[in-house]
Amino acid sequence: MHAFDVLRDPVRRRILELLAEGEHASGEVASVIRREFGVTQAAVSQHLKVLRESGFATVRADGARRIYAVDADPLQDVDAWLERFRRFWEPKLDALETEIARGRRKRP
Amino acid sequence: MHAFDVLRDPVRRRILELLAEGEHASGEVASVIRREFGVTQAAVSQHLKVLRESGFATVRADGARRIYAVDADPLQDVDAWLERFRRFWEPKLDALETEIARGRRKRP
DNA sequence: CGATAGTATAAGTCAGCACTTATATTAGAA
DNA sequence: TTCTAATATAAGTGCTGACTTATACTATCG
């Protein structure tokens, strides 16, 4: 699933926002999303699966709980795609300065 | 239509890439897209309509031709949304430096 | 004017996705 | 071991959106 397919869904974007604040258990995410979007735990679990399988999130077990954390790699890909459009709103920077400002680096 | 809904479609992303290189007539876009994706002129026209109506592109008439140009405003919104994730891959900058580097400014 | 080129719209079809309810799985408590 | 809490998966459904073909619109040329 392409990064933009993943990001298209507002629930998934909200989940990523939550994870950007720090790790959260599946149930914690589910309760926030349930309150804000009125969807079930099953739906949230399915979204978390999409985020996992597309590389946007990682999980670890903590007893019966599943702790999710954001993995920013695919978001960095999106950021890279936007690069070609930045000249439309950013002031000019020389190449090195831009390089430093963006913190670009090779991906493994 | 939300920016991410627009960007979800690979044809629309490709059209934006083409427009990022400079203005193009509808037919020029259509012929490239037709070659690369194998879809009809009608389909491309519909995509251009989506891009227009969602603010990603502007049109002007040139005789019977319609010249499209990219409008980066919605892309800048996407860029802004990504902001909260940049700390996961960017080196630390102080606030002012980041401000300058990003060329952030108020939108009208 | 009529013909043609360039482009947009209309109408219909089909696949995929986000959701639901129901159930399975697993961990820890009693 | 049985019960409960936490989470994931299965199966089914409806809606949205990207596509097609066919047609309408508009400008220019002869």
pLDDT score of A99 = 58
Judge if the beta carbon of B46 is closer than 7 A to nucleic acid strand D: yes
Q: In chain B, which residues have their Cβ closer than 8 Å to the Cβ of A1?
A: none
Q: A45 CA to C24 C1', in Å? A: 14
Q: Residues B43-81: pLDDT tens digits?
A: 999 999 999 999 999 999 999 999 999 999 999 999 999
- Size of chain B in residues: 108
In the predicted structure, residue B15 carries a pLDDT above the cut 80: yes
Give the nearest chain B residue to A93 (CA atoms): B101
- Determine phi and psi for A20, rounding to 5 degrees: -65, -25
- Work out the number of other CB atoms within 10 angstroms of the CB of residue A96: 8
Bases along strand C below 7 A from a protein CB? 5-10, 17-23, 26-28
Average pLDDT value over all residues in chain B: 90
Residues A26-40 as b or e (16 or more Cβ within 10 Å = b): beebbebbeeeeeee
At residue A93 the predicted structure's pLDDT band, cuts being 50, 70 and 90, is low
In the predicted structure, residue A106 carries a pLDDT above the cut 50: no
pLDDT score of B107 = 41
CB of A75 within 8 Å of a chain B CB? The answer is yes
pLDDT score of B90 = 81
Judged by CB atoms closer than 8 Å, whether chains meet at A103 and B82 is answered as: no
In the predicted structure, residue A105 carries a pLDDT above the cut 50: no
pLDDT score of A75 = 97
pLDDT score of A101 = 57
User: What type of residue sits at position B96?
Assistant: L
> For residues A38 and A10, what is the distance between their CA atoms, to the nearest angstrom?
13
CB of B86 within 8 Å of a chain A CB? The answer is yes
Nearest to B56 by CA among B42, B38, B76, B39: B76
> Which positions ≥6 away from A19 have C-beta within 8 Å?
A29, A57, A68, A69, A70
At residue A9 the predicted structure's pLDDT band, cuts being 50, 70 and 90, is very high
Tell me how many residue pairs between chain A and chain B have CB atoms under 8 A apart.
80
For residue B57, the 8-state DSSP code is E
Task: Report pTM.
Answer: 0.88
Q: A36 CA to C23 C1', in Å? A: 26
At residue A107 the predicted structure's pLDDT band, cuts being 50, 70 and 90, is very low
SS3 B24: strand
pLDDT score of B100 = 57
User: What type of residue sits at position B3?
Assistant: A
pLDDT score of B51 = 98
| Pairwise pLDDT comparison (A101 vs A32), residue with the higher score | A32
Q: Which two tokens stand for residue A102?
A: 């963006």
First to last CA, chain B: 20
Q: What percent of chain B has pLDDT over 70?
A: 84
> Which positions ≥6 away from B103 have C-beta within 8 Å?
A89, A90, A91
For residue B78, the 8-state DSSP code is H
For residue B91, the 8-state DSSP code is P
Q: In chain B, which residues have their Cβ closer than 8 Å to the Cβ of A72?
A: 85, 88-89
